[in-house]
Amino acid sequence: MRTRRTTISTSLALAALGAGAIAFLPGCVIAGLASAIGANIEKEKEVEVLAKYRGLENRSVAVLAHTMMGTAYEFPTAIPNIVGNVANNIQQRVQGSRVLDPRHTVAWMHQHPGWPTMPLADLTNELDVDRVVVIDVYEYRLNPEGNAFLWDGVAAANVGVAERDGIDPDSYAEELQVISKFPDMEGIGREAAGAREVELGLQKTFVDEVAYLFYDHIEKKYPDRGIKRK
C-alpha cells in the first residue's frame, strides 16, 4: 500500500503534468482534461479508517473460525489460514493485545468440533482469555455459481466478539459483517490465473478486512470491497 506522502506527491505530479499539457488547448478541452485529472486524483485518495471495535487493546485474545462442512471439505486449508493470519495481524497491530497461539486454537477447534454451539461464556472460560473473536464464514467460493471457467472469489463472514467481562458474557459485545472479493475485476479466466493464486489472494484480502475491524489503518477512499455492520 502506498503511503499518504507518495499518493500526494503522485497527485501533484499528475496535476503539474496536466497543467503543462493543457496550456494551449481550447477551453472546452481544458475543462474536460481538468475534470478527468481531478477524477483520477480523487479515485487514488487514501483515508484513515478508525477501528470498528477497540476492545482487544491490552486484552488476551483468541481467534476462532468455522464454516459449513461442505466448504471445509472443499477448502481444507481455508479456516486454519484465516485463523492464523488474523491472529498474527491482531498481535502485531493492536496495542497491548496478547493473542493465543493460533496453532493452539486450531488444535483446540479440532478437538472440540461442537464448539460453535457452546455458550460464549464457556468459550472465553475454556480458552482462558478476555476476548474471543469468532469468524463465522457463511460464504467462501472461487467461482461464480455454475461457471467453473471464471474466477469470482468471495469470502463473507459474520464476525462477533465475546467479552469475558462483558455485561452479558453469553451475547456478542460487537457483531460485524465482512464481505471480500478477489480478483477485483470481471472476466478473469483459468488461462490467466490458477486456483491456488486466486484462493491466496482471496484469503489475503479477507484477512486484512477482518483484522482492520480492530485497529486504525489507511485504505483507499473508494475501495471495491466493503465492511457492513449488521
| Percentage with pLDDT > 90 across the chain | 64
Quote the cell numbers at residue 217.
489503518
What pLDDT was estimated at residue 9?
Answer: 43
**Mean pLDDT over each residue of the chain, to the nearest integer:** 83
Residue of 24 and 54 predicted with greater confidence: 54
Mean pLDDT check: name the lowest of 157-171, 179-193, 207-221. 179-193
CA separation for the pair 162, 130 (Å, rounded): 8
CA separation for the pair 186, 177 (Å, rounded): 23
* Residues 68 and 42 sit within 8 Å (Cβ to Cβ): no
| Percentage with pLDDT > 70 across the chain | 77
Query: pLDDT tens digit string along 97-151?
Result: 999 999 999 999 999 999 999 999 999 999 999 999 999 999 999 999 888 888 9
What pLDDT was estimated at residue 229?
Answer: 36
pLDDT grade for 6, boundaries at 50, 70 and 90: very low
Quote the cell numbers at residue 108.
483446540
Dihedral (CA of 21, 23, 24, 28) sign: positive
* Residues 163 and 151 sit within 8 Å (Cβ to Cβ): no
What pLDDT was estimated at residue 37?
Answer: 53
* Residues 142 and 193 sit within 8 Å (Cβ to Cβ): no
SS3 153: strand
Query: pLDDT tens digit string along 192-229?
Result: 888 899 999 999 999 999 999 999 978 776 665 444 43
Residue of 139 and 49 predicted with greater confidence: 139
What pLDDT was estimated at residue 42?
Answer: 53
* Residues 116 and 140 sit within 8 Å (Cβ to Cβ): no
* Type and span of the H or E element at 176: strand 174-182
Pairing of strands 60-67, 131-141: parallel
CA angle 79, 84, 86 (to 5 degrees): 95
